[in-house]
């Protein structure tokens, strides 16, 4: 089976298994997703959702986050780990959004990457979820599953996986597909063990069919 054929089949199978392709991070405003994604580095989405609830209750506007000190932000987000760095990035990004982008999260990869603490993973998530653009979010689940299934072959670098998947995924499906990989990677094809006996992708999985 060619990678493009396997990708199309995987898209369809995951759509059936996970009809809802929602992001696991809870947010109401565009910048809230931006900051939550920054906090999610080396931290679970569940913990991030607890922390951001407190953060946004205390600082309900972008202006109030920008007016807070990094130390005040860190006192809330510390449970997410790397508190000093993440607080500094969130504070600086809030101010940059207000000063350079009129308080709005930008809609281009180049502009998003100019924000403190924002890499391609975060930028792609914003482009896909906020702006509905074709996006490939290469987090750990995406990289692991893409290799196990056979969408890529031994590629571990996020940027290279992103490029490879863009070539074989339907652009309009790519963002939701990555969300579904996250749900599947947590529930079935986990990092510790792959529960192949209950995997909806087993009919087309390279590991299972031994190609």
Q: Which residues are catalytic?
A: 121, 139
Residues for the chain: how many in total?
211
Please, are residues 144 and 190 in contact by the beta-carbon 8 Å criterion? no
Please, are residues 202 and 15 in contact by the beta-carbon 8 Å criterion? no
Neighbours of 99 (CB within 10 A): 10
Give the single-character DSSP code of 78: G
CA nearest to 109, candidates 139, 130, 95: 130
Residue located via tokens 């407190």: 54
Give the single-character DSSP code of 202: T
Beta-strand (E) ranges in the chain?
A: none
Residue located via tokens 């696991």: 24
Rounded to whole angstroms, the Cα distance separating 118 from 89 reads: 9
């Amino acid at each position: 089976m060619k990678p493009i054929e396997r990708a199309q089949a995987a898209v369809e199978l995951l759509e059936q298994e996970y009809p809802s392709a929602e992001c696991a991070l809870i947010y109401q405003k565009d910048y809230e997703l931006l900051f939550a994604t920054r906090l999610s580095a080396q931290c679970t989405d569940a913990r991030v959702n607890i922390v951001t609830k407190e953060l946004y209750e205390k600082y309900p506007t972008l202006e109030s986050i920008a007016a807070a000190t990094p130390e005040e932000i860190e006192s809330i987000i510390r449970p997410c780990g790397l508190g000093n760095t993440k607080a500094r990035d969130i504070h600086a990004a809030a101010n940059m959004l207000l000063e350079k982008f009129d308080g709005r999260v930008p809609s281009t990869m180049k502009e998003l990457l100019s924000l403190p603490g924002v890499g391609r993973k975060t930028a792609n998530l914003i482009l896909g979820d906020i702006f509905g653009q074709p996006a490939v979010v290469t987090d750990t689940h995406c990289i692991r599953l893409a290799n196990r299934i056979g969408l890529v072959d031994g590629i571990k670098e996020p940027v290279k996986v992103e490029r490879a998947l863009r070539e074989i995924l339907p652009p309009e499906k790519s963002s939701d597909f990555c969300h579904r990989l996250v749900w599947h990677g947590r529930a079935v094809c986990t990092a510790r063990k792959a529960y192949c006996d209950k995997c909806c992708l087993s009919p087309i999985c390279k590991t299972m069919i031994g190609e």
